Structure 1
Amino acid sequence: MTHNLLKGKRGIIFGALNEESIAWKVAVKAVEEGASITLSNTAMALRMGTLDQLSKQLNAPVIAADATSVEDLVKVFAESVQLLGGKIDFVLHSIGMSPNVRKHRTYDDLDYNYLQKTLDISAISFHKMLQVAKKQDAIAEYGSVVALTYVAAQRTFFGYNDMADAKSMLESIARSFGYIYGREKNVRINTISQSPTPTTAGKGIKDMDNLMDFANKMSPLGNADAEECANYCVMMFSDFTRKVTMQNLYHDGGFSSMGMSLRAMNQYAKDLAPYEDENGKIIYG
């Protein structure tokens, strides 16, 4: 069921790769709600993924761009305004990648060249995106910019590695730029801290299945899936949230407010239950 929340609005979706991507589902939901959009990802991602399929499905032009390149971002915003027939009403930043994670480098043995790439791709690209948009005056008054983040920006999670640093920077950029863009252009900037989600990028996190199970047991409402995240993004793009800005908004079933849940405690107790080894000796834990 649609509600025409984005009727007549124009948007840019960065980061859709395939049907597992949150950005893919946001794009579908935005068009269902009445928006016209452009899609953007790197040339390599376009070759690896199935974005052409989404483009045809939604009648949404694809603009190849490296989000770490100011020159490419200038092209994305200028072409989007031209193709869509006016200023942009909403933007989604759904971009994140860590070479250190991919190469299985632990946090106490980072490759610093990889770290710079992690920060540039996953966080600094957000600043570049906002700076380019502001200089072009490409975003309409009360436009909405949303970036996807994770609670590892505030808490330590085994295996999340230098992506945690990138997400911390991403959230800081939303606050710092949100003040300037809000004051001068009435543009709102927020981050959505999503439950662990089995996207192509998410699956690269060490023990992702265990992390998802733990989060699901901890969260009173359970994990929020990609479709539900898309619904939340659409609400943030809509006029119903015109005075929400500079916020990190948790969309995680309540996980971020929990200490210990009954389900997690029961699992913990079960794992620590005493048992007999092959010699009849009682083992605890």
Structure 2
Amino acid sequence: MGYNLLKGKRGIIFGALNDMSIAWKVAEMAHAEGATFTLTNTPVACRMGTLTELSEKCNAEVIPADATSVEDLEAVYARSMEVLGGKIDFVLHSIGMSLNVRKKRVYHDLNYSYLNKTLDISAISFHKLLQVGFKMDAISEWGSVVGLSYVAAQRSFYGYNDMADAKSLLESIARSFGYIYGREKKVRVNTISQSPTMTTAGSGVKGFDGLMDFSERMSPLGNATAEECAGYCLTLFSDFTRKVTMQNLFHDGGFSNVGMSLRAMTQYNKSFDVDDISSLD
């Protein structure tokens, strides 16, 4: 059941690929809450994914674009304002990719060309998205821009690789640009640090199943799902959070504030329930 939380609001959603995507869930929920919006992803992703299905379901135009290209971003804003009939009220940045992860290059043996691409795609694109919107005056007063992050921006996580650096940069951009955008145009900029979520991108991280299980055991409320993250995104797009900006908001069932949980400790102690540890291979 919808609450008309975003009735009359116009948006742009970056990064929906398939029904595993958080951006996909955001689009479905935003549509149910009365918003109109455009969808955008890279031309390759538009061909490989199932965006046509989402487009038809939400009556949303798909605009192929490379989020690292300023010219493409200018075209996305211009076309979106034309199609939707006015300035944009909310933008979701759900973009992340690491060639080092895909190519199985470990953190102490990075390919620096890949690293530059990781940072450009996963974080600097957020700055470009904000800067283009600012210069075009494309986002309405009290509009909201949200980027998706992860706790590895603050803490070391085995296997998360150079994506941790990208998320740290993403959150820094939200603070730095959020101050300027808020001061000059009353636009909010925040990031959401989501639980590990089985998206197409997340599943490429080494040991991701174990990471999800660990965070599930550590979090008093359990992992937040993609659908639950979408709901949280919508609250930040709504008028109920008009004074929330420059924040990194944890949406992880409490994981980020737990040192050791009962469930995790219980599982850890099971490793000692063997008389002769040397018998284990």
| Cα distance in 1, alignment partners of residues 13 and 130 from structure 2 | 14
Shift in Å, 1:274: 2.1
Query: What displacement does 1:283 show?
Result: 5.5
What residue identity is the alignment partner of 2:187?
A: V
Specify the alignment match of 1:33 in structure 2.
33
| Counterpart position of 2:125 | 125
Report deviation, 1:272. 2.2
Q: Is the contact made by 1:178 and 1:189 (CA closer than 8 Å) also made in structure 2?
A: yes
Match of 1:109 in 2: 109
SS at 2:180's partner residue? helix
Counterpart for residue 67 of structure 2: 67
Q: Distance in 2 between matches of 1:112 and 1:236?
A: 35
Q: Deviations over 1:80-135 (max 9, x none)?
A: 01100000000000000000000000000000000000000000000000000000
- 1:57: which partner in 2? 57
Q: Distance in 1 between matches of 2:113 and 2:136?
A: 31
Q: Aligned partners of 2:83, 2:18: CA distance in 1, in Å?
A: 23
Amino acid across the alignment from 1:153 = A
1:271 Cα deviation from its structure 2 partner: 1.5
SS of equivalent to 1:132? helix
Identity of aligned residues (%): 72
Q: Is the 8 A contact 1:11 1:37 kept in 2?
A: yes
1:254 aligns with: 254
Residue of structure 1 in register with 2:220 after alignment:
220
* Secondary structure at the counterpart of residue 18 of structure 1: coil
How far the C-alpha of 1:48 sits from its partner, in A, is: 1.2
Normalised by the length of structure 2, the TM-score is: 0.98
Hey, what's the Cα distance between the residues in 2 that align with 1:71 and 1:272?
58
**8 A Cα contact 1:217 1:261, kept in partner:** yes
Per-residue deviation at 1:276?
A: 4.5
Residues 6 and 35 in structure 1, CA contact (< 8 A), matched pair in contact too: yes
Secondary structure at the aligned position of 2:13 is classed as strand
3-state SS of the aligned residue for 1:62? coil
Residue 43 of structure 1: aligned partner: 43
Shift of 1:275: 3.4
Q: Which residue identity does 1:79 align to in structure 2? A: R
Is residue 184 of structure 1 aligned with residue 184 of structure 2? yes
In the TM superposition, what whole-angstrom CA distance separates every residue of 1:136-170 from its partner, at most 9, and x where no partner exists? Answer: 00000000000000000000000000000000000
Q: Cα offset for 1:284?
A: 8.7
Deviation readout 1:232-281 (Å, 9 max, x if unpaired):
0000000000000000000000000000000000000002222348xxxx
1:177-223 deviations in Å (ceiling 9; x for gaps): 00000000000000000000000000000010000000000000000
5 Å matches for 1:72-221?
72-221=72-221
Q: Which residue type is aligned with residue 95 of structure 2? A: I
Q: For 1:44 and 1:273, how far apart are their aligned partners in 2? A: 51
The aligned amino acid for 1:2 is G
Residues 275, 284 of structure 1: 8 Å contact kept: no
Structure 2 distance, partners of 1:2, 1:276, is 58
Q: Is the 8 Å Cα contact of residues 272 and 284 (structure 1) preserved in structure 2?
A: no
Q: Give the match's secondary structure for 1:275.
A: coil
**In the alignment, what sits opposite 2:266?**
266
Partners of 1:272 and 1:86 in 2: how far apart? 63
Structure 1 unmatched runs, 5+: none
The number of aligned residues is 281
State the shift of 1:47 in Å: 1.2
What RMSD in Å do the two structures reach over aligned CA positions? Answer: 1.2
